[in-house]
């Protein structure tokens, strides 16, 4: 009679009455006790999975960074979860949910993408130019052979070379230079 007024269904009230003890609701510890072992089992399974993954240390130049990054085989959380499901199948264990896995990834302070080094573009450009000049000097001294490939050249100089035939579908033109 009051169910319509309160917007309740009959089955809800019946289940509350059956689970209550002398009119007071139970704590629910009995129903939750069945779920706790599975949760701890999933947690330990997820931690062993995350420990087995190849990780890289943080490349940031900060002294207090403890974040680890997964190697390049994972580009998103979806890729990580697919690998987790495959690992679960090999271990004959039901996989945990995607959200649970992501929570553990954040709890373990693990990142997906490899971070960029904490340097400005000018420093990176300076170092690459210095490395190029060092290689050129070594080639001029005869210490090593340096061959560079210019993929942005406009002219096609070597149309007869087999290398060009192999590379041509991937780029518009190729120029090979021997630094000697």
In this predicted model, what pLDDT tens digit does every residue of 135-148 receive, in sequence order? 888 888 888 877 77
- Same-domain check for residues 162 and 95: no
Owning domain of residue 71: 3-111
Cα–Cα distances (Å) from 17 to 3, 14, 20, 25, 143, in that order, read: 14, 5, 5, 8, 89
- Same-domain check for residues 103 and 125: no
* pLDDT of residue 16 exceeding 60: yes
- Identify the pLDDT of residue 64: 56
- Same-domain check for residues 12 and 57: yes
The number of distinct structural domains making up the chain is 2
SS3 label, residue 158 = coil
- Same-domain check for residues 125 and 87: no
* Nearest-angstrom CA–CA distance, 128 and 125: 5
* pLDDT of residue 159 exceeding 50: no
Which of 111, 133, 161 is the last residue before a domain boundary? 111
- Same-domain check for residues 72 and 128: no
- Same-domain check for residues 71 and 32: yes
Would you place residue 163 in the very low, low, confident or very high pLDDT band (cuts 50, 70, 90)? very low
Q: pTM score, two decimals? A: 0.46
- Same-domain check for residues 61 and 132: no
Tell whether 116 is covered by a domain: no
* Nearest-angstrom CA–CA distance, 38 and 93: 11
Out of 70-79, 81-90, 165-174, least confident range: 165-174
């Amino acid at each position: 009679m009051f169910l319509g007024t309160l917007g309740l269904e009959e089955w809800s009230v019946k289940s509350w009455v059956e689970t209550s003890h002398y009119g007071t609701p139970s704590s629910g510890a009995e129903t939750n006790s069945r779920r706790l072992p599975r949760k701890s089992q999933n947690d330990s399974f997820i931690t062993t999975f995350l420990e087995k993954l190849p990780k890289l240390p943080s490349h940031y130049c900060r002294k207090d960074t403890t974040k680890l990054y997964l190697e390049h085989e994972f580009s998103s959380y979806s890729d990580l979860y697919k690998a987790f499901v495959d690992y679960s199948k090999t271990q004959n264990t039901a996989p945990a949910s995607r959200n649970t896995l992501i929570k553990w990834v954040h709890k373990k302070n693990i990142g997906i993408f490899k971070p960029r080094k904490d340097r400005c573009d000018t420093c990176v450009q300076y170092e690459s130019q210095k490395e190029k000049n060092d290689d050129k000097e070594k080639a001029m001294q005869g210490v090593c052979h340096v061959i560079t490939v210019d993929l942005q050249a406009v002219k096609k100089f070597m149309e007869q070379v087999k290398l060009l035939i192999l590379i041509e579908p991937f780029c518009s033109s190729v120029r090979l230079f021997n630094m000697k």
